[in-house]
Amino acid sequence: MPTIQLSQHTIHYNVQGTGPNVLLIHGWASSLRMWERPMSRLASEGFRAWAIDLPGHGESTPLAALNGGYSIPNLTDAVEAFAERMDIRQTSLVGHSMGGAIALDMAASRRRPDAMRTLVLVAPVVSGRLGLALHLLFDFEIGRWLLELAQRHNALARLGKLSMLGAPWLSHARRAALRRDVQDLARTAPQAIIGGLQAVINFDFSDRLPEIRTPALVIVGARDRTVPPSEGELAANKIPGARLVRLPRVGHQPVDECPEEFDRLLLDFQRSI
């Protein structure tokens, strides 16, 4: 897949199809690979689907030393720079988890006020409230050191493999998605692992939600233990005219956990605008 050079880092991306643009943004410690199936569906239905590896994720190089490091505004700048370089105009944004926070920031941006066609938020981070007490890892220097050490030695990836082996009840598709997530975690740069967690914990977009005028769809899993569904519900309540879909028996990965329903929701919403 192609890459482009942006400032001091390289962005790896994928593009499929022709038609109205749809830009998909993955979450923390993930990659553009999570969007492979939805991209194919979008392309087959007459859309031009784009996905990128965020800086420090997948095959994209880490951010250069910047003020604020892996803050949501800095990641937003990287995505907007990519969109401008590739001349992606009037795009629909789809963001999952941390990618949802980036999509929110882009949708409210004054830099390209008429660039958004639709906004789809999937299990989005909105106010920095996470289901897991990850902020405790940053209360002490030893926690930060352990995070970096664990990632460098693939301890987290090995734990993921064990969880995959210990879950024989999962379908073949779900096990393949878990295998992909473990691989993506192992490939994520240590500074992106730590910086991305700090970014979502420090992100609070609550007061700016009413600024968004883009037609919005918010999809949450009722059983999400990573980013509480209340985060997406907050966005749907405060973004004028937003539509909320709450999926029962679904956790943090609606894209993988209910693929047919997710693709239908995404395509129906794109066609409705």
Beta carbons within 8 Å of 87's beta carbon, 6+ residues apart? none
List the end-to-end C-alpha distance of the chain, in Å, as a whole number.
Answer: 30
Q: Which band of pLDDT confidence, cut at 50, 70 and 90, is reported for residue 167?
A: very low
pLDDT at residue 1, rounded to an integer: 76
157 or 128: whose pLDDT is higher?
A: 128
Q: State mean pLDDT over 148-153.
A: 52
Q: Which residue has the tokens 């194919």?
A: 40
Instruction: Reply yes or no on whether the pLDDT at 113 is more than 80.
Output: no
Residue 242, pLDDT > 50, answer: yes
* Average pLDDT of the residues in 170-195: 82
Question: Mean pLDDT, the chain, as a whole number?
Answer: 86
Go through the domains of the chain in sequence order and give each one's CATH number: 3-272 (3.40.50.1820)
Summarised one tens digit per residue, pLDDT across range 35-88 is 999 999 999 999 999 999 999 999 999 987 666 689 999 999 999 999 999 999
pLDDT over 70 at 143, yes or no: no
pLDDT computed for residue 179 by the predictor: 83
| Least confident segment among 30-34, 176-180, 223-227 | 176-180
pTM, full prediction? 0.90
